[in-house]
Structure 1
Amino acid sequence: MLHASSEGDAGIIATDLREALVLVVGFPCWRDSPKYSAGGYLGFMESATDFLCRDMMLDRPALAAEQARVAESLGLSLEAPTVLVARLHTAVKNLSPDFAFIDDIGEYGGLFGPFPTSRNQRWQ
């Protein structure tokens, strides 16, 4: 499954639609995790995932119940965000290392961002 953002980033995020849905339902903030990967390091993505999950639950306390309801209606199993981010890292790194998405506007950048988690001052 290809993800192309309106910010000009693109990459393969999953091997199929089901895997992509598991990611999106199980970790709604998944798009931010690779941004804080310091160029593709899983450890930074895992650290960002911890902060993102914390922030997500503070902003939306009923999220876990909503995720369970959506997962059940789609016949999906919820997995821990750390499992999902590891799978995302593998997909981005291994399935699209030389991938380039180009449309009529131009070539998109990759999903791995240059920033470490320390770049986000709220996560200090």
Structure 2
Amino acid sequence: MPLTPEVLTADSEVVAWLGGLDVSFAADDEPWFTIDGLDSPRQVGSDSSGGAFVLLPSQDVLYVSSEGRAGIIAGSFDAFVQLVVARPYWLDILKFSAGGDLAEMRRAADALEATLEDEDDVNEAREEIRARLDLPEPDDPVGALYDAVAASDAIVRATDGSPFTTLFNRFSIDNNPTLRNAAA
């Protein structure tokens, strides 16, 4: 049976573990954005920075940041949960993507993972979620994230009608001393 928001939210322990990875499945207010061609976006979650996770009719998962960036991050709800568990810092991978360079995203993922080595709570959350959901480790979560964002064709707009920009940001881990040192 495929993983759906309803199946996932029926397990309060998994929901709590995912909350530790910065994904909340609490009901949110009216969307503060629109998506071209979609009358009623189905927001299935949010993060602590005010970003929204939207399940599209195609079953893609769209992320809409509170800073005016948006894009598809996963091709299914299953893939979304796998991404969050495998790379809970997925948004930082995009931040340090040097404008959407896959090699730079891989460098960022390695550096970010190195900063988590002693984060027992993150590793425990990963293990618990995978066990409870019988969730496999994705083959290439960074490559899948890159492919989803690069192919994203959803047009998200602020309430004033201005379009959101891509989730790929211009920074590199070389712009961050902690990550630069972790990658060394």
TM-score range, shorter chain: 0.7 to 0.9
Q: Once the 2 structures are TM-superposed, how far is the Cα of residue 36 of structure 1 from its aligned partner?
A: 0.9
C-alpha distance in structure 2 between counterparts of 1:68 and 1:79, whole Å = 14
C-alpha distance in structure 1 between counterparts of 2:146 and 2:156, whole Å = 18
TM-score for both structures, normalised by structure 1: 0.86
Q: Once the 2 structures are TM-superposed, how far is the Cα of residue 64 of structure 1 from its aligned partner?
A: 2.1
- Structure 1 pair 68/16, CA: closer, same or farther in 2 (3 Å)? same
- The structure that is helix-richer by fraction is 1
What secondary structure does 1:13 align onto? strand
- What's the Cα RMSD here? 1.6
Report the equivalent of 1:84: 141
Q: Which has the higher contact order (CA 8 A, sep 6+)?
A: 1
C-alpha distance in structure 2 between counterparts of 1:104 and 1:62, whole Å = 38
Aligned ranges 1:102-121 → 2 under 5 Å? 102-105=157-160, 106-121=162-177
Cα distance per residue 1:47-105 (max 9 Å; x no partner) = 000111111223x124223201111212211236xx101110011112x1x43211315
Q: Once the 2 structures are TM-superposed, how far is the Cα of residue 123 of structure 1 from its aligned partner?
A: 2.3
Residue 28 of structure 1 pairs with residue 83 of structure 2 = no
Equivalent pairs, count: 119
C-alpha distance in structure 2 between counterparts of 1:64 and 1:78, whole Å = 13
C-alpha distance in structure 1 between counterparts of 2:135 and 2:65, whole Å = 25
Is 1:40–1:89's contact at 8 Å kept on the other side of the alignment?
yes
C-alpha distance in structure 1 between counterparts of 2:69 and 2:114, whole Å = 25
Percent identity between the two aligned chains: 32
Q: Once the 2 structures are TM-superposed, how far is the Cα of residue 7 of structure 1 from its aligned partner?
A: 2.1
Is 1:57–1:63's contact at 8 Å kept on the other side of the alignment?
no
Report the equivalent of 1:101: 156
- Structure 1 pair 79/65, CA: closer, same or farther in 2 (3 Å)? farther
Unmatched segments (≥5 aa) in structure 2 = 1-60
- Give 1:65's aligned amino acid: E
Of structures 1 and 2, the larger Rg is shown by: 2
C-alpha distance in structure 1 between counterparts of 2:142 and 2:64, whole Å = 18
- The structure that is strand-richer by fraction is 2
Q: Once the 2 structures are TM-superposed, how far is the Cα of residue 40 of structure 1 from its aligned partner?
A: 0.6
Is 2:68–2:158's contact at 8 Å kept on the other side of the alignment?
no
What secondary structure does 1:33 align onto? helix
- Give 2:147's aligned amino acid: T
- Give 1:88's aligned amino acid: L
